[in-house]
Amino acid sequence: MSEQKFHTDAIDRLTVEGAFTVLAKARELEKAGHPMIHLEIGEPDFKTPENIVNAAIASLHAGETHYVPAVGLMELRETVASYITKTRGVQTSVEEVMIAPGVKPLIFFAILSLIEAGDEVIIPVPAYPTYGSVVKFVNGVPVPIILHEEDDFRFDVKQLEKAITPKTKMIVLNSPQNPTGGVLTKDDLERVAFLSKKHNLYVLSDEIYSRIMYDEPFVSYYSDPGVKERTILVDGFSKSFAMTGWRLGFGVMPKPLVAAMTKLTNNSTACTCAFVQRAGIEALTGPQEPVEKMVAEFKKRRDVIVEKLNEVPGFKCRKPKGAFYAFPNIQGTKMKSRDLAVMLLEKIGVAVLSGTAFGEAGEGYLRFSYANSISNIERGIQKIKEALS
């Protein structure tokens, strides 16, 4: 008798995010008594600011524990519309905003709504794995274009132009970028906008790290004139406000797409918790000093981790311009990325991610999350240095 299969072929096309797999293995080793330095998971190690927590508590005490509209609370949607109008310089209406339990559902729903079998989606790689995973899930075709280390992990716009075919339906942008920390310039974004308008393409602009910039102001793709009509901007609260576990994101997009994605929300997650949305309103309208302090601390850590990584035999690391990831080239070690990541985890108790967790283009690299203390960062890299010496 053959073994029962409990899923469809579409499920086989989905991948699992590597950071959570490595985190689970690291936790197992810790439980077995092995000390571990965590440089793998992409979440701030700061507490959610107290004013945000208090807003959620007040909402709970007020009895906001019931269903709310699938598209999100009107008050939060209005707050987001004002925030986008101010930060992106583009007049945004509440009808163009929807709320979701995190950015991942928004990415998933946008691709489910717009991409059909055979449609091509251009994705700069190495990339956050959810993009390509969901495109494959709907039988779309991910088309990779390479991020260049020598250009601080920006892609060549000429390469993008060559990748566009009659089957191309969407371009995915992520700036600042996970896993490289690379940032697209205003000129890069203007050239992408020109191509998207020329070829009538959708652009999914993942701007979850928009507040975590170090040396220059953030520039949004959404700010380019004339792109609003075919752009899906996704952003949220996880990274900027240390709210990963709260699960709260927002999308800004054309009204008909809001309707389509709200239908998907209605049939899946139903809605986002009311008290979490109240916390989101406080995050955007309350004091911003906690965000500024966190980013300032991340900048200190960035400078330390880049300096220390460049002292490791066989490593070369460029300085990331945004997010909180370092992406060193480890080809000088003569080891495969996954082999080295496994060795560091199991032999010396330093958890990092193989570059291949972000696709084949990540071979020859590791991703370090510097969402940890400077002392732990220094201690972890010293252990790596000793192991490779």
Question: 313-359, pLDDT tens digit by residue?
Answer: 999 999 999 999 999 999 999 999 999 999 999 999 999 999 999 99
pLDDT band at 1 (very low <50, low <70, confident <90, very high): low
Q: Provide the residue ranges of all domains of the chain, joining segments of one domain with +.
A: 9-47+289-388, 50-285
The chain-wide mean pLDDT, for the chain, equals: 96
CA nearest neighbour of 175 among 205, 143, 134: 205
Does the structure show a pLDDT above 90 at 308? yes
Residues 6+ apart with CB under 8 A from 265: 70, 71, 98, 100, 105, 109, 271
- Identical fold for domains 9-47+289-388 and 50-285, yes or no, is no
Question: Percent of the chain, pLDDT > 90?
Answer: 92
Q: What is the pTM of this model?
A: 0.95
Phi, psi of 208 (to 5 degrees): -65, -25
HSE of 74 in the Cβ direction (CA atoms, 13 Å)? 0
Q: By CB neighbour count within 10 A (0-12 exposed, 13-18 middle, 19+ buried), where does 82 fall?
A: middle
Fold of 9-47+289-388: Aspartate Aminotransferase, domain 1 (3.90.1150)
For the segment 381-389, the average pLDDT, to the nearest whole number, is 95
**Class of domain 50-285 as given by CATH:** alpha beta
For residues 240 and 291, the answer to whether their CB atoms sit within 8 Å is yes
